[in-house]
Amino acid sequence: ICFFSFTNFPGGHRLRKILFNENGEKKTKFEIMNSAMWPLFEMNSFEDLASWKKERNASALTETNIIIPIFVNNHWMVGIISTFKSSNPVVQLYDSKHQERPSQVQLLFKIAKYLTFKQATYTKLTGPYQNDGYNCGPYTILAVKYLSSTSWQTSFISAAKT
């Protein structure tokens, strides 16, 4: 199980450049969780999620993308919870191996409900396909790059075709 910050793994410096400008300010409206939280969620431990939520004011969790790095069975993926003021949150999961991940999706639903008190809907994400057994990290960084931008969907789907 991986207990380090997603942005600190090899190549994580690229992710920091993607998400933050030279002054350390976010380029777009998003919140990112530490990857160490996912194994706790898998054990139905949400105490750290309560602290994480408390550290942010309520307005920071509306109309934003919550990016959740996921490391399961030696494989990186990314979950996204998109929150909106007037409608239900949308849960999304990107897996560069394009495998069905029902347990991760269900856990994202629980997290969305805990954070927003609303029932989420699910939208499947497609993106670039990983055709080897070792490049999930770079593919996940690419996903986060597009998912944290304002025009992520168009860009990410275009990247999947190249």
**Predicted confidence (pLDDT) per residue in 96-125, tens digit:** 999 999 999 999 999 999 988 889 999 878
pLDDT confidence band for 56 (50 / 70 / 90): confident
Of 106 and 83, the structure prediction assigns the larger pLDDT to 106
Mean pLDDT score of the chain: 78
Q: Cβ(95)–Cβ(79) under 8 Å?
A: no
Q: Span 45-65, mean pLDDT?
A: 79
Q: Is the pLDDT of residue 152 over 80?
A: no
Q: Span 18-37, mean pLDDT?
A: 73
What are the beta bridge partners of residue 91?
Answer: 81, 122
Closest CA to 70 of 100, 45, 33: 33
- For the entire predicted model, the pTM comes to 0.76
Closest CA to 9 of 97, 71, 92, 73: 71
Q: Is the pLDDT of residue 26 over 70?
A: no
Could you tell me the strand order of the sheet in which 121-122 lies?
30-32, 65-72, 75-82, 90-94, 121-122
Phi, psi of 94 (to 5 degrees): -115, 125
Q: Which residues of 73-106 are buried (b: 16+ CB within 10 A; e: fewer)?
A: eebbbbbbbbbeeeeebbbbbbbbeeeebeebbe
Kind of pairing, strands 121-122 and 90-94? parallel
Kind of pairing, strands 65-72 and 121-122? unpaired
Q: Cβ(33)–Cβ(65) under 8 Å?
A: no
Q: Is the pLDDT of residue 58 over 90?
A: no
Measure Cα distances from 131 to 97, 98, 104, 158 in Å: 7, 10, 21, 18
Residue with tokens 């997290």: 111
pLDDT confidence band for 3 (50 / 70 / 90): very low
